[in-house]
Amino acid sequence: MNNILKDKVIESTLYIRSKVKFSPDIAVILGSGLGELASMLEDSTKIAYTDIPHFPKSTVVGHSGELIAGEFNGKKLICLNGRFHYYEGYTMETVTYPVRVFKELGVNKIIITNAAGGINKTFKPGDLMIITDHINFMCSNPLIGPNDEYFGPRFPDMGDTYTPSLVDLAMVVAKECGILLRQGVYVAVSGPTYETPVEINMFRLLGGDAVGMSTVPESIVARHMGMDIFAISCIANVAADLSPVKLTHNDVIKTVGEAQEKLLEFISLFIERI
């Protein structure tokens, strides 16, 4: 971290503030195929990533490329409709850049969604899993390099990264909705290849329940800045050692699309209760 990053974040923030006339309460990062939530915002303002100074652009199918701000169930939201991935060739600083901007905008709570592969043998495609902890297998960390105390401490504590009170609230909301919510550990890998059967078995032995190519870098940076974090995975497929079917990204998008109604019902009430 350095003053150059700080200056860029401030410049991006000033531009967004010139377009969005309110201070958002909650930031939401929308994962693969989960962009429907953004279309449900009222009195929304859309800003293309290409218009925001220093913002990268998403290159992955299922990820749009716009920042959307608006009201949703009585809360003021700002949504990242299309995230950035390490496997796209971006640096970790770039992958997590929007989270820095969210914090500069005054956001203290962030909801992170993703599509993930199921490692836990009891999981089925379409299940929803609250992330209670993670294993960083990306062989990198977004905090590597000089630290800027403006953003956070040199050595942030990663205990309770995923805010326990939000996890507890989620379970209450899910019960009210009649939705089964799993809980588990998310394993983050760099991608873009899907995992081999042996890798999946290793992750399972280490305590992993789901695997994906995002979320952990954003969570580390949000934790670095003292934000409250809630993360949820849509289990898009069973792991490589549990299915003879070859996995494709289109399959992931299809499964997540089928689970959208359930996820949106849960997220809607959850945001209202935060």
Given 58, 63, 120, 259, the catalytic residue: 63
- Judge whether 87 counts as a catalytic residue: yes
Given 38, 92, 129, 213, the catalytic residue: 213
- Judge whether 134 counts as a catalytic residue: no
Q: In this structure, are residues 196 and 240 in contact, taking their beta carbons and an 8 Å threshold? A: yes
Given 12, 58, 81, 237, the catalytic residue: 237
- For residue 112, what is the enclosing H or E element? strand 109-118
Given 12, 69, 88, 195, the catalytic residue: 88
* DSSP calls for 25-41: SEEEEE-TT-THHHHT-
- Judge whether 199 counts as a catalytic residue: no
- Judge whether 73 counts as a catalytic residue: no
* Neighbouring C-alpha atoms within 13 Å toward the C-beta of 51: 12
SS3 of 267, please?
Answer: helix
Neighbouring C-beta atoms of residue 167, cutoff 10 Å: 19
- Judge whether 249 counts as a catalytic residue: yes
Given 12, 58, 85, 224, the catalytic residue: 85
Distance CA 105, CA 136 (A): 27
Neighbouring C-beta atoms of residue 18, cutoff 10 Å: 9
Q: In this structure, are residues 259 and 126 in contact, taking their beta carbons and an 8 Å threshold? A: yes
- Judge whether 115 counts as a catalytic residue: yes
Given 36, 108, 201, 249, the catalytic residue: 249
Tokens 């329940």 belong to residue? 209
- Judge whether 39 counts as a catalytic residue: no
Given 12, 32, 120, 219, the catalytic residue: 32
| Active centre residues (catalytic) | 32, 63, 85, 87-88, 115, 213-214, 237, 249
